[in-house]
Amino acid sequence: MDYFLELFLGGLTRGSIYALIALGYTMVYGIIQLINFAHGEIYMIGAFVGLIVAGICTIYGFSGISVLILAAIAAIIWASAYGYTLEKIAYRPLRGAPRLSPLISAIGMSIFLQNYVLLAQTSDFLPFPNLIPDFEFMEPVAYFIGSPELVILVTTFVTMILLTLLIKKTKVGKAMRATQQDMSMARLVGINVDRIISLTFVIGSALAAIGGVLVASYIGQVNFYIGFLAGVKAFTAAVLGGIGSIPGAVLGGLVLGWTESFAAGYVSSDYEDVFAFGLLVLILILRPAGILGKARKQKV
């Protein structure tokens, strides 16, 4: 039973990170029906900016959780800026183009950003300073859940509550939901659709940046390539849960996290990825709209 619980918690931690990144995919897809392939790269850029800030701080002798918060804030600012610019350059000129065009543009952007960071920084793995202290009160349970896991779980939980509030309660959130329902209608009632789309990218990128910094401080290293696999997995999570649906992204992230964790724990980690993608294919065949997604009838 202990073993099960350990795997469950491991999957929960991993899944909550997937969920954070998946939210960005799902929100963007909900509004402009585009797989923002470069989203994983935004996550990586977030982690890298966090590393740079945290690195400078530790080199100049600062440390502790306040540095982590500072790094996270910087990561959010820059990742959002990248997300915003990404949309403006690579997707906005392609609105109304055939569906394949923005998708290819997104893949191109993903390759570009990866190599941009590779060239501007380094191909090596850089250590991320250990900024999360071992909390005293965690000591009795450190056996299966450590302080970093706790920080990840609490942060993602709080972030998701804030996001839900933003979408459900504020005017901006209403405008976002309206745009998601029907873009031309939203435009008619005076919503600045372009701004809402930009905002969606900014919010999605900020979430990815939080995920990036959390993961970086959890596993303690960053390089230019971490965005690819994380992005693919998070997108898988978004599709699993039902792309376009916010609770779906969270659920999808957790389901994927648990699948991988249990598969590795009870079967074999050799085929971890095979399980993840196998699950995706299975879900898409049985329930093409995902677990929580609504079948969206195309208007004929």
Residues within window 64-93 making contact with other proteins, judged by CB under 8 A: 74, 78, 81-82, 85, 89-90, 93
159 vs 259, beta carbon nearer other proteins: 259
- Kindly report the three-state secondary structure assignment for every residue of 105-154: HHHHHHHHHHHHHHHHCCCCCEECCCCCCCCHHHHHHCCCCCHHHHHHHH
Mark the segment that binds other proteins (CB under 8 A) among 54-62, 166-174, 181-189, 201-209. 54-62
126 DSSP β-pair partners: 222
The least distance separating other proteins from the CB of residue 20, rounded to whole angstroms, comes to 12
From candidates 235, 242, 244, 248, binder to other proteins by CB under 8 A: 235
43 vs 199, beta carbon nearer other proteins: 43
Would you tell me the crossing angle of helices 246-262 and 147-169 to the nearest 10 degrees?
Answer: 160
27 vs 53, beta carbon nearer other proteins: 53
Interaction residues for other proteins, span 137-166 (CB under 8 A): 142-144, 146, 148
The least distance separating other proteins from the CB of residue 235, rounded to whole angstroms, comes to 6
From candidates 19, 31, 45, 251, binder to other proteins by CB under 8 A: 45
From candidates 172, 232, 247, 291, binder to other proteins by CB under 8 A: 232
175 vs 211, beta carbon nearer other proteins: 211
3-state class (DSSP) for residue 293: coil
CB atoms within 10 A of CB 178: 17
| 185 lines the binding site for other proteins (CB under 8 A) | no
User: Is 147 in contact with 138 (CB distance < 8 Å)?
Assistant: yes
User: Is 57 in contact with 64 (CB distance < 8 Å)?
Assistant: no
146 vs 248, beta carbon nearer other proteins: 146
Number of residues that bind other proteins (CB under 8 A): 110
d(CA 265, CA 37): 30
Query: Within 13 Å, how many C-alpha atoms sit on residue 229's CB side?
Result: 7
From candidates 66, 123, 170, 181, binder to other proteins by CB under 8 A: 123
| 135 lines the binding site for other proteins (CB under 8 A) | no
d(CA 270, CA 264): 8
